[in-house]
Amino acid sequence: MKKILVIIFATIAISSCKVDREPFGSLQSEKINQNPEESIDGLLNGVYAQLKAWSDPMHRLGEYAGDNMMIRGSSTDPFYEFISFARTPNNARLTTFWDSGYKAIAQASNIINLIPQGKNATLDSKLGECYYVRGMMYFYLVRAFGRPYYQSPETNLGVPIVNGTPKDVINLNLPDRATVKATYEQAISDLKKAEELITVNKGPVFASKGAAQAMLSRIYLYMSGTYENPNQANAQLSIDYANKVIASSSTYSLLPRDQFMKYNTLIPENNRETIFAIKRVASEFSGSDHYYGIGGMYANIGGQGWGEMYASAKYIGLLNETGRNDWRPDKYKIVDARAAFIEPTYSKNAAGAYTEVFRFIKDDAGNVVNYVQATVTRNGGTITCTEGTDVYTLTPLNAAQESYTINYKNGKTYTGFIDYFITLNRVYPQFYIVKDSREGEDSHLHSPVISRLGEVYLNRAEAYAKLQKFTEALSDLNTIRTRSIINGGYASLNASNAGDLIDKERQLELAYQAERSFDVFRNGKALSRQYPGPQNQNLSIAATDFRVIYYIPQSAINSYPGKLTQNPTQ
């Protein structure tokens, strides 16, 4: 059975291409060599096609395990394991992530192995695209299935390194998982090769020299240790590759604030900040995709989408830290540009008017917190709110921003905002997330962003901080921060606050791009989610916890021709 599955795996490498639809063994290398330029385009299309299936679970396992979002309740969908940290090896979405990743590696490797390098620059550039995809896949796989790099990369296991379909698939015996260090080295080698070979930039929906450099900047950052114990050599390499991308001002540039607030609506080809994105088009993204795709879980737009996951109170709190973001339609004012990607679902009463409420978060039994939306009554200069039969007087904290405090019946003082009533799903206000929707203004159409210039500046800021170059780090950090918050730059950066401020800015800037959980753990920090929602609010996941990484899919172990070691179960 294992051998049959390997043969099927091998044939997939060609079956999705627009050229000869023959099994791998029937596609003669002589035929490719006779006209490599024609053959490689079809083969390369097949490589990019694999990224579309891969990008969905990639987003979910990276984002759902973080603290930027909450879900309205439990779910039978396998993605709930990513949220709950109830890791199992039999997860269909995790299997798709693994299978699609290795299919992309196999297809890219087969092209590299079949078409000789050095025929001409155009052909070599396309080979470079294959190296980029392969290197990127190894990195994404190892960060999901291998422990954070600062934790003994020489001995911890990464993923198997299998570069192409072996000639003898009948008597196949593939190697077990390589170490984390070796897997990173493979990813780096491939991406450096991509940087060397790619000379043609076909735009941000194709691999490019800049995309390879941006990914190398991120990989070396992942290898740069923690703030407390940095690897300075790798931090410097992260800076070096960030410099290359940032210097490409003729190719990439940060969007100004007003355009950045519409980032999600821009197609990648019209977005100078996007370095690489996985292209989706409306013709292939319709029907159930609007419900079951990434954006469909975060919002219901035009009657499409489940809208069951919302921005967490923790993330909303970060957005409001420097001033209230007012989403009320008649008082709309965005302080932090990143708040433009959040849309509360305000509802009107039977008379067609909004209901004023005082929204705050209160403590409940069991060290759990929950939202309260208490109806507001104004009587001259006195403002009260009512929860059940309890009436509280609001004390101004910042009247201009309509921020107030109340002395609650449990003896605690709570802070909140006067707002309009937001529709509840179960008991949770719906703070819709639209960052992964509305591309080209088409409901939930979204081309997942892999790299963009905003991240590269933050990569360099963190790497500078790990080299104790706080002046340079502050400059990069404020380049991103002041783009979103006018006059909101930090006054100073030093060893005592650099880690917290840089990590906070990464959370704000890169939310809903599948980076958050990995950013927390790679720097040795713990993840806690004490904010309203059905998640375990009392659970803190340390970076050393076995649940930080995912199990190898059991189906992959069962079909693997050789030993494939599972991750520890505790």
- Write a three-state SS string for 22-71: CCHHHCCHHHHHHCHHHHHHHHHHHHHHHHHHHHHHHHHHHHCCCCCEEE
Burial 28-49 (b: 16+ CB within 10 A, else e): eeeebeeebeebbeebbebbbb
| CA–CA distance, 395 with 65 (Å, rounded to integer) | 37
Band (19; pLDDT cuts 50, 70, 90): very low
Q: Is the pLDDT of residue 279 over 90?
A: yes
| CA–CA distance, 227 with 230 (Å, rounded to integer) | 6
Give the pLDDT mean for 385-396. Answer: 97
Band (18; pLDDT cuts 50, 70, 90): very low
Kindly state the percentage of the chain with pLDDT values over 90: 86
For residue 323, which amino acid is it? G
Q: Is the pLDDT of residue 15 over 60?
A: no
Contact 160, 145 (CB under 8 A): no
| CA–CA distance, 452 with 437 (Å, rounded to integer) | 17
| CA–CA distance, 319 with 207 (Å, rounded to integer) | 33
pLDDT at 32: 66
What are the residues facing 420 on neighbouring strands? 356
Q: pLDDT tens, 166-189?
A: 777 778 899 999 999 999 999 999
Q: Is the pLDDT of residue 249 over 70?
A: yes
Give the pLDDT mean for 480-488. Answer: 98
pLDDT at 8: 35
pLDDT at 285: 81
Give the pLDDT mean for 59-68. Answer: 97
| CA–CA distance, 372 with 100 (Å, rounded to integer) | 43
pLDDT at 441: 86
Q: Is the pLDDT of residue 3 over 70?
A: no
pLDDT at 13: 34
Q: Is the pLDDT of residue 219 over 80?
A: yes
pLDDT at 29: 59
Give the pLDDT mean for 302-312. Answer: 95
- Pairing mode of beta strands 382-387, 368-379: antiparallel
For residue 371, which amino acid is it? Y
Q: pLDDT tens, 333-351?
A: 999 999 999 999 999 999 9
For residue 210, which amino acid is it? G
Give the pLDDT mean for 508-530. Answer: 98
Give the pLDDT mean for 454-472. Answer: 98
Candidate from 23-32, 237-246, 256-265, 476-485 with smallest mean pLDDT? 23-32
The sign of the CA dihedral 8, 14, 20, 21 is: positive
Q: Is the pLDDT of residue 35 over 80?
A: no
CA atoms within 13 A on the CB side of 553: 18
Rounded to the nearest integer, the mean pLDDT of the chain is: 93
pLDDT at 12: 40
Q: Is the pLDDT of residue 46 over 50?
A: yes
Q: pLDDT tens, 498-518?
A: 999 999 999 999 999 999 999
Q: Is the pLDDT of residue 17 over 90?
A: no
Candidate from 33-47, 224-238, 347-361, 443-457 with smallest mean pLDDT? 33-47
Q: What is the DSSP letter of 164?
A: S
**Structure token digits, residue 445:** 């159409």
Q: Is the pLDDT of residue 97 over 90?
A: yes
User: In this predicted model, which residue has the larger pLDDT, 170 or 417?
Assistant: 417
Q: What angle do the packed helices 209-222 and 180-197 form, to 10 degrees?
A: 160
Q: Is the pLDDT of residue 69 over 70?
A: yes
